[in-house]
Amino acid sequence: MKDANLLLTASTSRELVEDPFKAIERTKRWKIKSAYGDIGFKYRDDQTIAYVASRMPAVYSACHRVLKEVKRRLPGFAPKSVLDFGSATGSVLWAIREVWPHSLESINLVEPSKYMQRVAQSLLHGLKDLPLIHSYDSIQALMKNLDKSDMEHDLVMASYVLGEVASLKDRITIVCQLWNLTQDVLEMFRRVSEQFTVMFRRKAFLHWYTGEGMNEMEFIEAECNMNDLVSSINNIKMRLLKKK
């Protein structure tokens, strides 16, 4: 199954790199259904509270770990201007302040959920030495408001966001837009597929889901879709890198 999937990835991703939008139209395979349905996941009051209580600490740790690794690999790099796409409660800003305590001068946050925006604001309330913070509902609103000279950011982050954008066409557009807004480092986190694979191989927690009526095949399919997506995003990044 996995070998067959890898072969499929190789052929479809070549098409995807050559003409991403045409490739999507041509094959149903790329109409990936999100776990949240095809309209994407909306963070209202309850979902935001649940996010803060359950996921935020882990997401902060992941951001912190990744940024520390960036610092280790690029010792001369210290971002002054940052774009955080899908900023939610602001973990990226907190992690940047920890890793580069004095470098940040301005940060643009893109976050469509008013509830998430409100939590981010209240967490920052009363803090000293904050950078200039601009908040936008969408990437389009950001681009409309930016002067040409402010378009490129030293660091662009998209942590755990792309998986929540339901359509693959939108994801590709977003990756291209983010790349154009990047001067130096573009960091996109994906969900940790390696950990999923380790747990799935051991059938950890599987009985919870099969007990609720899910089929094991659904997990295998999800894993394949996830790997396809990661590989297509990597291919697009490579293509864009060659163009730059």
For ligand SAM, the binding residues (CB under 6 A) are: 40, 43, 59, 63, 85-89, 91-92, 110-113, 116, 159-161, 164-165
Question: In terms of CB distance, is 83 or 110 closer to ligand SAM?
Answer: 110
Nearest position to ligand SAM, beta carbon: 86
Q: Which is nearer to ligand SAM, 105 or 137 (CB)?
A: 137
Q: How far is CA 96 from CA 42, 86, 101, 187, in A?
A: 26, 16, 7, 13
Output 15 or 187, the one with its CB closest to ligand SAM: 187
Q: Closest separation between CB of residue 143 and ligand SAM, Å?
A: 12
Give whichever of 159 and 182 is closer to ligand SAM, judged by the CB atom.
Answer: 159
> In whole angstroms, what is the distance from residue 77 CA to residue 79 CA?
6
Residue-by-residue DSSP string for the chain: -HHHHHHHHHHHHHHHHH-HHHHHHH-GGG-PPPTT-TT-----HHHHHHIIIIIHHHHHHHHHHHHHHHHHH-TT---SEEEEET-TTTHHHHHHHHHSTTT--EEEEE---HHHHHHHHHHHTT-SS--EEEEESSHHHHHHH--GGGS-EEEEEE-S-GGG---HHHHHHHHHHHHHTEEEEEEE----HHHHHHHHHTTTTHHHHHTTT--HHHHHHHHHHHHHHHHHHHHHHHHHHHH-
81 vs 171 by CB, closer to ligand SAM:
171
Q: What is the smallest separation between the CB atom of 114 and ligand SAM, expressed in angstroms?
A: 10
The residue (of 71 and 190) whose beta carbon lies closer to ligand SAM is 190
